[in-house]
Structure 1
Amino acid sequence: MTDALAIARDLIRCPSVTPADAGALGVLAALLKDAGFEVQRVTFSEAGTADIDNLYARIGREAPHITFAGHTDVVPPGDESAWSLGAFSGEVKDGYLYGRGAVDMKGGIACSVAAVLDYLREHGGKPREDGNGSISFLITGDEEDVSVNGTVKLLKWAAERGEIFDHCVLGEPSNQEVMGDCIKIGRRGSQSGTLVVEGKQGHVAYPHRAANPVPDISRLIVALSDEPLDQGSAQFQPSNLEFTSVDVGNSASNVIPGTARAKFNIRYNDCHTQESLRALVEERLRTACGNRIRAHIEWLPSNANVFLTKPGSFTELAVAAIEEATGRKPELSTSGGTSDARFISSYCPVIEFGLVGQTMHQIDERAAVADMETLTKIYRGILDQYFA
């Protein structure tokens, strides 16, 4: 099979820390053009953010259309002197490929490209002998940061040009412990906000002339945190509201502050929409405030909506390919944080399956070469069954 390791090493040696591309998309563009893909590089901009380069490549023009998605941008390496091997060396030691992005997710992209190129070589350079079928790659350079000039705009750009996706495999590091233990079929939504309690500033010696918001915000934090938002659903664990900071902006010990603020984040399941979730929390706040406490919530904008790819023929196909390569039947999971799958899910069913994610974002991020070989076989197995 095509050497996924060689592709991954070339990608890692491009120090593509968000928002820099550093040549990573060029590596992919050259490989895919040589294989007959129509490759397009698209740059998106928005005021206050960096310009981001993205790549879309497709071979074939008919349905069914499967796309492999991913991102070539990586988080900063941290203290590079702390790495056993260079953060962007792409070196192999004791069976592991080292470098920022080895797991998240240049290694996964390399495996998908290797599998696709291998598949096309064995099938005359086209997805199906009857001329039907399409394979594409949706690759962004804006996933690890604000995610405004990447996948969300690339999907819109593709749709405006008549591109229709039937299914997507996103190569995020989904496995928890070993290859084949987990497929992500959904993610909880994420909504952040700030609880603001209004008091009245005054001298601590004259509390009757002030209104202290500190005890009130403490009561409200407990009230909003203690009552569950739901009991979970068939595919999702219960939603969770977590307060992350409390601030009164007061450095003096003899002054009662005028305002108290507490930041929070909610990870919510498919029992809620963003709108119904906000309404629920607002109603609970009104009840807890009664007629005395003056408080409100400042909601932050969010594009991290809950999504679910319902188990069916596509997930069954992926499970079969994973079982064949690993001997394990993966869990269909919705745990973890957000990913670009939240955008893709509005266009087609999407699953997340990649490498083992234990070292992502860490010093000495590394991927087992054997796992990369296995992942390439799994992607190849998915293609074999998808176009059978």
Structure 2
Amino acid sequence: MSVDPIALARDLINCASVTPASGEVFDVLERALAPLGFTVHRFTLGEPPDGPTENMVAIRGDGGPHFGFAGHLDVVPPGDGWSSDPFDTVIEDGVLSGRGAVDMKSAIAAFVAAASRTDQTSGTTSLLITGDEEGYATYGTPRIIDWLNERSIRPDMILIGEPTSVDRLGDTVKIGRRGSVNMWIDVPGTQGHVAYPHRADNPVPKLARVVEALNGLHLDDGTEAFPPSNLEFTAVSTPTQASNVIPATATAQLNIRFNNLQRGTDLVRLVEEIAEREAPGSTVRARISGEAFLTPPGRLYDVIVEAIREETGIEPELSTSGGTSDGRFLIQLCPVVDFGLPNATMHKLDECAAVEDIHALARIYERVLTKVFA
């Protein structure tokens, strides 16, 4: 039974699975996998606001090698202003449009199509699919890892189908990702009338000193594989908008994208120290999304690069640029590489992917599986 990746991609995209996702979109994927010999396990965890999140582990075969494909069925909210219904796919001039076309339902459909065409006589293939990659991932891929560990199941290598290509399918493979930490710095003060500043304590100038000090930080010069770590402020706020009130608190929000010279906890500690020095009594809240990771050269590199080269004639760039992925969690299990469609329209209005790119991606994934199980 050969699966049509375009038909499956359309069926998946037509499910409005805004993060965190569960239910119908997983039903569609299960119906595609069951006839291919996969045993499908589904479990839903968590409560709002981070849940409920549904996850799926689908396994075919046994023994080694064990090749895992990871991905997510949740999507970001579509936003207003689409040319057509974001959850009713349209194909026009060879382009498939809909939320999730690039990030990353088409890649999941391409992998299922590849698995349907692969004569796997030994070894194990698994799909590790979450409904919460676009959100906080509290009940997503980390819980899939727990499920695997509880059953002593460990892939030898994992390919994540995130959209990594830039200008042309196959031009970029992500061999690692930067870490990410969000922080909120709260500086206390005493509310009062602007005409009587001696009866208040304005936190804004103190927060400004913190911002200036952090903005001048030089974290590192990067490495051969990673660019320099960078800190960016994303918001500054006070609880009152009245022009004649000194606020009781002032808050700055920032994000640090960091390479493997840094650790999230160390960066939080550094920010805490600077905030306390510049504005005594301030507090720092932090959420570490993931640590930086780098997959060393090996079999996973080789089979993916060879498959891309054979299908497209391109020698892909091995990169760590861009945002993070669930590889930040999956690296606990085995080597991880991200590779998928061109990413120019991900998260944008009228997200779309070329039909031929989806077919070609399925062929690349098929080549990867054939090499792994040869």
Normalising by structure 2, we get a TM-score of 0.93
Q: Deviations over 1:35-62 (max 9, x none)?
A: 1111112222246543222221111110
Q: Structure 1 stretch 330-339 or stretch 254-263: which is displaced more?
A: 254-263
For the pair 1:113 / 2:103, whether they are aligned, the reply is no
Aligned-pair distance for 1:210? 4.2
Name the amino acid aligned to 2:91.
V
Q: What is the match of residue 94 of structure 1?
A: 93
Report the equivalent of 1:371. Answer: 357
Does the 8 Å contact 2:86/2:99 carry over to 1?
yes
Amino acid at match of 1:324: E
CA root-mean-square deviation: 2.0
Q: Residues 8 and 206 (structure 1 numbering): CA distance in 2 closer, same or farther, change over 3 Å?
A: closer
- Contact map agreement 1:14 1:22 (CA 8 A) in 2: no
**Distance in structure 2 (CA, Å) of the matches to 1:84 and 1:207:** 53
Please state whether the residue corresponding to 1:301 is helix, strand or coil.
Answer: strand
Maintained 8 Å contact 1:189/1:305 = yes
* Alignment partner of 2:140 out of 146, 150, 174: 150
Q: Which residue does 1:59 correspond to in 2?
A: 60
Q: Counterpart of 1:43?
A: 44
Partner Cα distance (1:111, 1:302) in 2: 32
Identity, % of aligned pairs? 48
- Which is further off, 69-78 or 366-375? 69-78
Contact 2:164 2:174 in 1 (8 A): yes
What CA distance in whole angstroms lies between the structure 1 residues aligned with 2:15 and 2:271? Answer: 45
Q: Is the 8 A contact 2:159 2:337 kept in 1?
A: yes
CA distance in 2, matches of 1:42, 1:286: 44
Q: Please state how far the C-alpha of 1:206 moved relative to its aligned partner.
A: 4.5
Q: Structure 1 243/92 Cα, relative in aligned 2: closer, same or farther at 3 Å?
A: same
Cα distance, 1:20 vs structure 2: 4.3
Deviates more, 1:275-284 or 1:206-215: 206-215
In structure 2, C-alpha distance between the alignment counterparts of 1:186 and 1:117, rounded to whole Å: 29
Which range is displaced more, 297-306 or 356-365?
Answer: 297-306
Structure 2 residue ranges without an equivalent (≥5): none
3-state secondary structure, aligned to 2:282? strand
1:140 positional shift: 1.4
Q: Matches of residues 212-231 of structure 1 in structure 2 within 5 Å?
A: 212-231=202-221
Given that residues 58 and 128 in structure 2 are in contact (C-alpha distance below 8 angstroms), is that contact kept between their aligned partners in structure 1? yes
Contact 1:15 1:21 in 2 (8 A): no
| Matched position secondary structure for 2:288 | coil
Tell me what 1:84 maps to. Answer: 83
Q: Distance in 2 between matches of 1:298 and 1:282?
A: 6
Are 2:354 and 1:383 equivalent residues in the alignment? no
Distance apart, 1:114 and its partner CA:
0.5
Cα offset for 1:18?
Answer: 2.6
Contact 1:195–1:295 (8 Å) recurs in 2: no
- Alpha-carbon spacing, 1:357–1:276, altered in 2? closer, same or farther (3 Å): same
User: What secondary structure sits across from 1:373 in the alignment?
Assistant: helix
For residue 159 of structure 2, give the secondary structure of its aligned residue in structure 1: strand
Q: Does 1:191 align with 2:181?
A: yes
Runs of 4+ in 1 over 6 A off after TM superposition: none
What residue identity is the alignment partner of 1:70? G
In terms of mean alpha carbon deviation, does 256-265 or 156-165 score higher? 256-265
Taking the aligned partners of 1:115 and 1:387, their CA distance within structure 2 comes to: 13
2:327 to 308, 333, 341: 341
SS at match of 2:314: coil
| 1:300 aligned counterpart, secondary structure | strand
Q: Which runs of 5+ in 1 are unaligned?
A: none
Q: SS at the partner of 1:262?
A: strand
> After superposition, where does 1:266-277 map in structure 2 within 5 Å?
266-277=256-267
Cα deviations by residue, 1:283-313 (Å, 9 ceiling, x for unpaired) = 34455x2xxx424342223242222212333
Alpha carbons 2:103, 2:347 under 8 Å: kept: yes
SS in 2 for 1:270: coil
Q: CA deviation at 1:96?
A: 0.7
Structure 2 residue aligned with 1:304: 290
The answer for the alignment partner of 2:34 in structure 1 is 33
Residue 238, structure 1, aligned to residue 237, structure 2: no
Q: Does 1:279 align with 2:280?
A: no
Alpha-carbon distance in structure 1 between the residues aligned to 2:15 and 2:186 = 44
* Residue of structure 2 in register with 1:4 after alignment: 5
Distance 1:83 1:200 in 2: 46
Partner of 2:239: 249
Q: Which amino acid aligns with 2:258?
A: Y
Q: How does 1:150-189 map to 2 (within 5 A)?
A: 150-189=140-179
Q: Deviations over 1:76-95 (max 9, x none)?
A: 2223xx43333222231100
Normalization by structure 1: what TM-score?
0.90
Q: In 2, distance between residues paired with 1:197 and 1:139?
A: 41
Q: Do the aligned residues in 2 keep the contact of 1:199 with 1:294 (CA within 8 Å)?
A: no
